[in-house]
Structure 1
Amino acid sequence: MSLSEPLLGETSDAENQDTPQWKESKRRRQHLPRRIDDVGSTSRWKGYRLFLMLGTGALLLLGFVQLVSILIGLVSLVLPTGVDKIVRDWGRPGHLGAGLVHYPTDFSRDILPKACHSHNDYWRDVPLFSAIRSGCIGVEADIWRFDKDLYVGHSITSLTPNRTLASLYINPLLDILEKQNPTPQIMPDSDKSLHGVFDTDQAQTLILLIDFKTYGPSTWPAMYSALDPLRTKGYLTHVANNTIIQRPITVVGTGNTPFDKVVSLDANPHQDVFFDAPLEQMYLGPKNETAPPSLPNTPSDSDLRPRSAEEPVEQSGQGQNDTPSSSDAYNELNSYYASVSFNKVIGHLDRGEFSEAQLDLVRGYINGAQARGLKARYWDTPFWPIGLRNHVWDTLMKEGADFLNVDDLVGATQSDWGKWKGWWRRGKRTGSWKGH
């Protein structure tokens, strides 16, 4: 072998010069060990891929289950069971129950009466009927007398010629009660009792609270005459021989209603209009004390005094229009409700809770009203926050109030008041109110 020949395994300078640089770099990388951080990156990437694959698989599985559930629901709609099919088609011509859907007194079928009063009922999109549909057994109409007509509305500017006590309440009630009291088709002479508006409780009376907005003595005759159609049919609760005869409608006067007209046999000969007595005069404590304890946020005695009928109309109101100063004047033979503004006698709830003194007041007023045979009602209760409103409602009913004065019919009759605990309860639990 010549000395000029390259040794085995050696590369001549010419060959080295002919080898491209990128091939040389690749050859070197193939013989070098990987760096530690490159190995870690690869492992993490494999972990991410595995996580994504598992997550995607889980979502696909859940989607498949949901799809199957939807398909099963669609199948049940398209191919209902025997009972579902009967219920769906009941009463339709050619199906089971044809001609059996309705019965004479089904106007308010399945509606359960509830102890709520539809405040400012005439404001609703559908006065009277919305309250009945919700089960409220009390409705309210504000009346204004001009000439011989009684208009219904919250203020003079809201009055229109066609919105009257007759058109919104008297005539609809006549129609409802005519339907609820048909001549029986079987044994027509067997049932002589009058049925109220609620089919599920035909003995339940409906309270029609009439709020006098104009001067009481001059409004009274027009109001009393407006009730004649209901009176003639025997639909009005009245007093006879010192006994209450309950009928489908109980009329109660509030606002500027003159108490002396209510108790006068000349002005109220049928004794079928009752009074909304001032609850603030009826406190009766646990030891029969009649002087309510004072609270820092409640008005003074001078603010609670009855007002004279000679004072301007805008300064008068429920229980303040020439009413007796003694609570002994009110009883179940001349009054039905005993009402007061919650804000006026109970005041602000500190941190959204009743104090013990406030609870004593609530109980004392309710006790005093019920001792006289009257229904205790607080109006002007908090309406917001919703949790605070519900808390007040719940407390009043637990303490024995007879009626809730409500604007929100759905919230009062269909909601669970204890479901949502408001900020005041959360604050009390966590102690976040400390220092405020």
Structure 2
Amino acid sequence: MHNVDRYLSENPGGRRLARAVVAWIMFAVLLIAPQAGVAAAAPAVAPLPRAHAHNDYLHDRPLYDALAQGFTSVEADVYPGLQSTDLSVAHAPWEIRPQRTLRSLYLDPLRQIVAANGGTVLPGYTGEFQLLIEMKWDAPTAYRVLDDLTRDPQYAGLFTRYVDGRVIRGPVTIGLLTAFTDGTDLRTTLAAQNPRSAFVIGAPNDLGTGIPATLMPEINADWAKLFRWRGEGAMPDAERRTLTELVDRAHREGKRIRFWGVPEQPGAARKALWDMQYDTGVDRIATDHLSDLAEYLRQRSS
């Protein structure tokens, strides 16, 4: 044992290797018992910067299933919680359960993963990891709770922050969507906050209005409202121009863009829809089928 200690003290590379081995062992334990609250590094899988897990919380292992495929963006729907200090994660109000909270399903696991993984969500990935939160009801109350959560000292250093006109990158970036409102009040609230640890997700009609990327770094758009094409045959030229122009407009403002409501029935049509998004520069492709999109993106990037 003393020989091992002496070797590690004299060999920095050996210390790094030992830390890496410990991290992978911890992740193996996590795979066996993810619900037991075991901290672990994320899996040794190539990160997928363009992969977004739509309604991630509906998978068997929220967050962990997406990380196992290399996803770099996950989505959770929330409601003001049964407890005033947390948010409930659910698709509909009648699905709210006391044990399914933002803290238990996402914030605490991400904190543990980042700590075990040396400061990143995915090993060696220095790009952005997004936790997209859709506030399904009473956004002002939901945001007050979220704001308090992000200021909890146990999460210090975990989140990307806006401070004095600058964005200071952290391991996890929180993007906020609202439902049943246009989000105007939320934008006003966040625009007035300094510092803050959340950013607004906008819509296509927000482009060209002067909202800076430091407040609104991403645009989300409803595919069905913009396009009739569902992946069968060639995309009409006019619709392709609309798609290309929308992507270009977002990028000119320094914003990412993602579409939701894109048909996902497995088959040639789905691949055509993914191809179109990939080829026109859509920044994140959303899916409920994690392994299928992961395989597709790895094939496209190989």
Same fold (TM over 0.5): yes
Per-residue CA shift, 1:206-243, capped at 9, x if unaligned? Answer: 10001001111222101211223478421211223322
* One of 19, 38, 51 as aligned partner of 1:116: 51
Question: For residues 348-359 of structure 1, what are the structure 2 equivalents within 5 Å?
Answer: 348-349=229-230, 351-359=232-240
Deviation at 1:173, TM superposition (A): 0.8
Q: 1:416 to 1:169 in 2, by over 3 A?
A: closer
**Contact between 1:143 and 1:152, CA under 8 Å: does it hold in 2?**
yes
Read off the aligned partner of 1:174 and give its amino acid letter.
Answer: R
Q: 1:245 to 1:356 in 2, by over 3 A?
A: same
TM-score (norm 1): 0.56
Rg (Cα) greater in structure: 1
Read off the aligned partner of 2:170 and give its amino acid letter.
Answer: R
* One of 326, 334, 337 as aligned partner of 2:218: 337
**Contact between 1:150 and 1:164, CA under 8 Å: does it hold in 2?**
yes
Read off the aligned partner of 1:164 and give its amino acid letter.
Answer: T
Per-residue CA shift, 1:160-215, capped at 9, x if unaligned? Answer: 1110111101111111111123xxxxxxxxxxxxx2111132x2221000100111
* One of 286, 290, 293 as aligned partner of 1:409: 290
Q: Would you say 1:226 and 2:149 are equivalent positions?
A: yes
Question: For residues 294-373 of structure 1, what are the structure 2 equivalents within 5 Å?
Answer: 327-349=208-230, 351-373=232-254
Per-residue CA shift, 1:356-385, capped at 9, x if unaligned? Answer: 001001101101111111111011101125
Q: 1:232 to 1:263 in 2, by over 3 A?
A: farther
The match for 1:391 is 272
Question: For residues 263-302 of structure 1, what are the structure 2 equivalents within 5 Å?
Answer: 263-264=188-189, 268-282=193-207
Q: Would you say 1:176 and 2:113 are equivalent positions?
A: yes
Question: Equivalents in 1 of 2:191, 2:177: separation in Å?
Answer: 19
Question: Equivalents in 2 of 1:352, 1:176: separation in Å?
Answer: 44
Q: Give the number of the structure with larger relative contact order, counting CA–CA contacts within 8 Å between residues 6 or more apart.
A: 2
Deviation at 1:351, TM superposition (A): 4.1
Read off the aligned partner of 1:223 and give its amino acid letter.
Answer: L
Deviation at 1:270, TM superposition (A): 1.8
Deviation at 1:247, TM superposition (A): 1.1
**Contact between 2:231 and 2:269, CA under 8 Å: does it hold in 1?**
no
Read off the aligned partner of 1:390 and give its amino acid letter.
Answer: K
Seq. identity, %: 23
* One of 145, 149, 167 as aligned partner of 1:244: 167
Q: 1:397 to 1:415 in 2, by over 3 A?
A: closer
The match for 1:261 is 186
Which secondary structure does the structure 2 equivalent of 1:103 belong to? helix
Deviation at 1:266, TM superposition (A): 8.4
**Contact between 2:274 and 2:285, CA under 8 Å: does it hold in 1?**
yes
Per-residue CA shift, 1:114-158, capped at 9, x if unaligned? Answer: 111100000000000111111110001100114514110111121
The match for 2:133 is 210
Q: 1:223 to 1:267 in 2, by over 3 A?
A: farther
The unaligned stretches of length 5 or more in structure 2 are: 1-16, 25-40
Per-residue CA shift, 1:299-330, capped at 9, x if unaligned? Answer: xxxxxxxxxxxxxxxxxxxxxxxxxxxx4242
**Contact between 1:122 and 1:141, CA under 8 Å: does it hold in 2?**
yes
Q: Could you list the structure 1 runs, at least 4 aligned residues long, displaced by more than 4 angstroms after superposition.
A: 99-102, 416-419
TM-score (norm 2): 0.79
The match for 1:155 is 92
The match for 1:198 is 122
Question: Equivalents in 1 of 2:54, 2:78: separation in Å?
Answer: 14
Read off the aligned partner of 1:335 and give its amino acid letter.
Answer: M
Which secondary structure does the structure 1 equivalent of 2:273 belong to? helix
Deviation at 1:347, TM superposition (A): 2.2
Read off the aligned partner of 2:241 and give its amino acid letter.
Answer: D
Count of residues in Structure 1 that have an aligned counterpart in Structure 2: 264
* One of 21, 31, 36 as aligned partner of 1:103: 21
Read off the aligned partner of 1:254 and give its amino acid letter.
Answer: L
Read off the aligned partner of 1:249 and give its amino acid letter.
Answer: V
Question: Equivalents in 2 of 1:332, 1:350: separation in Å?
Answer: 31
* One of 96, 102, 106 as aligned partner of 1:165: 102
**Contact between 2:256 and 2:283, CA under 8 Å: does it hold in 1?**
yes
* One of 46, 55, 71 as aligned partner of 1:136: 71
Q: 1:381 to 1:108 in 2, by over 3 A?
A: same
Question: For residues 30-69 of structure 1, what are the structure 2 equivalents within 5 Å?
Answer: none
